[in-house]
Structure 1
């Protein structure tokens, strides 16, 4: 038995859901596909697939074997590619984890450009801001906001996002406009962002010249997802701080207003992280470089400030 070929066949059966589609994709007779999987099961002395007349179900052992086989085949593919000038045209599956807001508002709107540059890369994006088992889940890298604290990960900074402070018109009609960051801790309600790793709600930081203010927000709601956080601010539940690119369209539509514009907020660093046990493959490298240029190309909105109302006004041409 050619174990490597059998491994490839088994992976394709799992991905297609049955032997017929796998045989078609591999351009092999169905009987050959069936025999190779059976030979692999005999070699491993375990059942990888449960067959019925209508479908194929992966067993517990089969699911574990699939994840490891996928990782091994990916590494072999990367090794082969490095010997055949894949630096100029990287290829293969790239599994990336990132928060939903980064996926929806930053990465996906620009993916046509990425695929035009690298048409042979198949990008799988896992959406969420959770702890990832990179090896078991076959994740190549993750895009994370904030400075990483996990010493087992290699982190490469790809840029910074400037935070701004926002509230909805409905909220401001009820509570008025804060004149100083201290007002947020005394007379206003914020939406709390819960850092899942630290297990606490993040503070808000403001800077104006030499004056620096850090407050623990008074909140009625805290969430650990950026999209939910932004939606809560839009709903008028409280004041929030988000990167400008997430709120620009909402400000233009009048759904959000920037408040305390004369105060600078902290910046949110963006990192690509991956496990130390994995080398930085060509496909990961080109994605990181592309993402770094994308973040650096984000333009800060230029607005004149109206001190009487404390909200941004459009620049007049």
Structure 2
């Protein structure tokens, strides 16, 4: 038995709550993970896990052992990456989940630069707007827009996405060009509703101008919970969209979308990189977060109070 392999297997079972899920994230068979944990228990002569047909729970001894093992594995990684040659080039796999428009329009086009800087890092990229269980799914970090639903996560604020209201020319030809946000409540107008993948609720649409505030509810013919499909619905003329500027820029340039209410203000959407609070922040994760922050400084820098971009510290 390799003791460190057994420790890693035990940690993943505790975090995933399942031998099957732990095996999937470790790229091992369920039998191999089970044997590693059994061998570890035999070596320690302590029962670490309670197993039932429905779930896996940790014993009191297992919980205490887990806390120590997590620190040992983190220290081991620090020792390995702290060597002069290792420090120059972090290596290994990094599991990241990002929203689909952000992936296709910003992150993936910039990945050649990331790979050139860190050739020994392998990104396992999940592209979705779904809720991700960072611990259970063994994901190192997620990039998400809007205020974080899980306040227990550690997070770095990396950008403020400026928002605008847009519609396709075909839609405006059919429904008319609204001169005021309140007109979106008129019978002829429709919005494309964006539903939160976390709550299923529609995101609120609020605009301000000169002390006046308008919250648009509007009617919709389609509600969508994924960013690229949301954009496609607007381009198809199904209604008015609220979009980050980076998503709309190319479509405005080629005539696919027209911006509305340009003299109205919409609060920017914060963008965060979030990661488990009790998970060791490895060198490979640190360099990825720093790279994302630098990337977003060019696209949508964090805005200080008063409207000026914040200086990256």
Give the TM-score, by structure 1 length: 0.72
* 1:84 partnered with 2:66: no
Shift of 1:79: 2.8
For residues 38 and 152 of structure 1, what CA distance do their matches in structure 2 show? 30
Written as runs of structure 1 = structure 2, the 5 A alignment for 1:28-43 is 43=39
Q: What pairs with 1:157-196 in structure 2 (closer than 5 Å)?
A: 157-187=157-187, 188-196=189-197
- 1:81 positional shift: 3.1
Specify the alignment match of 2:287 in structure 1. 286
Deviation at 1:211, TM superposition (A): 2.1
TM-superposed CA distance for 1:298, in Å, is 1.4
- Specify the SS of the correspondent of 1:195: coil
Tell me how far 1:131 sits from its aligned partner: 2.1
- The question of whether the paired residues in 2 share the 8 Å contact of 1:207 and 1:264 is answered with yes
Q: Secondary structure at the match of 1:166?
A: strand
Unmatched 5+ stretches in structure 1? 18-35, 46-59, 61-67, 301-317
- CA-CA distance at 1:82 after TM superposition: 3.8
CA distance 1:262–1:82, shift in 2 (3 Å): same
Counterpart contact for 2:162–2:300, Cα < 8 Å: no
8 Å contact kept, 2:7–2:40: no
Please show how residues 268-307 of structure 1 align to structure 2 within 5 Å.
268-298=269-299
Aligned length in residues = 261
**Alignment partner of 2:275: what SS?**
strand
1:96 and 2:96 are equivalent in the alignment: yes
Preserved CA contact (<8 Å) 1:203 1:217:
no
Relative to structure 1, the CA distance from residue 74 to residue 127 in structure 2 (aligned partners, 3 Å threshold; closer, same or farther) is farther
**Alpha-carbon distance, 1:40 to partner:** 5.5
Distance in 2 of aligned mates of 1:195 and 1:42: 42
Deviations 1:167-196 (A, max 9, x none): 111101100100001011224100001113
Q: Which residue of the partner structure matches residue 118 of structure 1?
A: 118
| Cα displacement string for residues 261-295 of structure 1 (whole angstroms, at most 9, x for unaligned residues) | 22122211100111111122211111111111211
Cα distance in 1 for residues equivalent to 2:192 and 2:232: 10
Quote how far apart the aligned CAs of 1:160 are. Answer: 0.6
Q: Find the counterpart in structure 2 of residue 232 from structure 1.
A: 233
Unaligned runs of at least 5 residues, structure 2: 9-22, 42-52, 54-65, 302-313
What's the Cα RMSD here?
3.5
Which digits, 9 at most, give the CA deviation of each residue in 1:91-126, with x for residues without a partner? 211100111111111110111111111112111111
Deviations 1:218-250 (A, max 9, x none): 211111111111111001000001111111111
Equivalent-residue separation in structure 1 for 2:286 and 2:178 (angstroms): 44
Counterparts of 1:291 and 1:136, CA distance in 2: 24
- Residue 305 of structure 2: aligned partner: none
Match of 1:136 in 2: 136
Distance of 1:248 and 1:199 partners within structure 2:
28
* 1:70-102 superposed Cα distances (whole Å, 9 cap, x missing partner): x98985763333432455422211100111111
TM-score with structure 2 setting the length: 0.72
**Which residue of structure 1 aligns with residue 304 of structure 2?**
none
Partner of 1:311: none
Q: 1:39: Cα distance to partner? A: 8.3
What is the alpha-carbon distance in structure 1 between the residues aligned to residue 257 and residue 146 of structure 2? Answer: 24
**Does structure 2 retain, via aligned residues, the 8 Å contact 1:81–1:90?**
no
- What's the CA shift for 1:149? 2.6
Structure 1: 4+ residue segments shifted above 6 A: 5-8, 36-39, 71-74
Q: 1:122 to 1:215 in 2, by over 3 A?
A: same
Q: Could you say which structure has the higher strand fraction?
A: 1
